[in-house]
Structure 1
């Protein structure tokens, strides 16, 4: 067993028989292997598994050596934000759709988790963003994101207007549906759908991707991860802010959204043979032979 991994927390939010069965099977397998197992409390409520010790995210942060997320990328994003400050490494078993972050196949989870426990894992650090909303000079909201922070027109049927500043320097004023501020991890999510660049996880950059800008010359821009990005909502415009598509804040005219790289990083443990480009080929269907009409 890899030195230092003595206790593993299992996280799987979805209320589905498949997730409940997978969590239960992995918990029993790890117990038989001599590993202490914790079940995240909301996971236990959703799956009905109560035969193992329970722990909330704060307790997982202080008690677990590894957290394994069983589900989709959405479940993984939630766990990442909740555990980033505690520096607990994460691994993911895919029970969702794409599985960019949950890269361990369900059918081989025993073998792959066993390889991680045996010390044959690949460790990777991913950056996160931290954001704060200033209203009248006071912070009224704060959140973290592993994928992206999105300024959006929300339910409005018209465009919004805002200013973009980088390190205090005015860049442009834009009328659009909004803008995506993305990490390299999030570059294959919403940002990619908006024609943003795909950034390798090793790139220390932040992508700024406009959403349907009312100008042909607005294009995505990638800035250094050391930059502070500030978005100022113009008068007479309200907007919505989204963090990994999970947390939301209703912003008003004059609000300032400040975004910077978080001091915390997320540690991912991958099984042997993991390749970022292999994931891209599989999930984005690169190199697939075109169908004949």
Structure 2
């Protein structure tokens, strides 16, 4: 018997195309004598009123498994809100890229059959937490599963910032910004900015300058237990923002400091039993050619 008895369904917000898959999942689990609930925002957005709905905290407290239907962005959102509860996440890919949501919509039921039998792989992924300090006070906090970016917002001018590792200065940057990434996020914004790909199980954090003026300002990988600090210079013009996972934003002002460190809680990701990270890389990044 599976350990998953109460299952939450979370759909991509604002996308009516997830409805059929959500109802397929609901009917599947009901036929297997499982309790099924809907994420409250999903139910409200799709106007589903005949299935019990719970907010994210209630899902965290009551559910044994959360299934995310959509793309990586939907899973990032669910991961941040459920990380403190230890609820495992399973992703069904209705999006475009799908590094994190790795179950095809055409193989849902056969994959779930195996998962309910206990035939699945589980891995733990780290998150990072950003705390914004202004004039000695902490004014904002957010978690990120992929990355935290400090970047210019509304001008085409570079910004000036300093980065520190455990209180020791790393470098002063004149750049479009800097990305601080988990290993999971190393295939996202950090990779686009020229950073390396990190295997998800590595205990590390990646720092990647965005379009630095000095080409010697290179990406660097530091141990996962380091605290990273980004200080904004006093002479910047225009708005600077902190963005977490490309979804949460807050403005920074001259003199602000951003403290980033690994979150204590981890995300539990479930995969089909035939999952292989390097297969995902080859498929998504089109590394499929072979020597003849």
TM-score, normalization by structure 2: 0.97
Report the equivalent of 1:48: 47
Give the aligned partner of residue 257 of structure 1.
258
Aligned residues: 289
Q: Report Cα offsets for 1:126-167 as digits up to 9, x if no partner.
A: 000011000011100000000000000111210000011000
Q: In structure 1, how many angstroms separate the alpha carbons of the residues matched to 2:4 and 2:215?
A: 52
Cα deviation code 1:9-65 (max 9, x no counterpart)? 000033334201100111111111111001001111222322211100010000000
Distance in structure 2 (CA, Å) of the matches to 1:43 and 1:288: 40
Q: Which residue of 2 aligns with 1:180?
A: 179
Q: Which runs of 5+ in 1 are unaligned?
A: none
> What is the Cα-based RMSD across aligned positions, in Å?
1.2
Between the aligned partners of 1:13 and 1:94, the Cα distance in structure 2 is: 10
CA separation in 2, counterparts of 1:79 and 1:254? 33
Asked if the contact 1:226/1:260 (under 8 Å) is kept, the reply is yes
Aligned to 1:75: 74
Q: Give the corresponding residue for 1:192.
A: 191
Q: Which residue of 2 aligns with 1:90?
A: 89
Could you say what secondary structure the match of 2:261 adopts?
A: strand
Kept in 1: contact 2:12–2:71 (CA 8 A): no
Q: Match of 1:138?
A: 137
C-alpha deviation, 1:240, in angstroms: 0.5
Corresponding residue SS for 1:253: coil
SS at match of 2:185: helix
TM-score, normalized by length of structure 1?
Answer: 0.96
Match of 1:113 in 2: 112
Shift of residue 289 of structure 1? Answer: 6.9
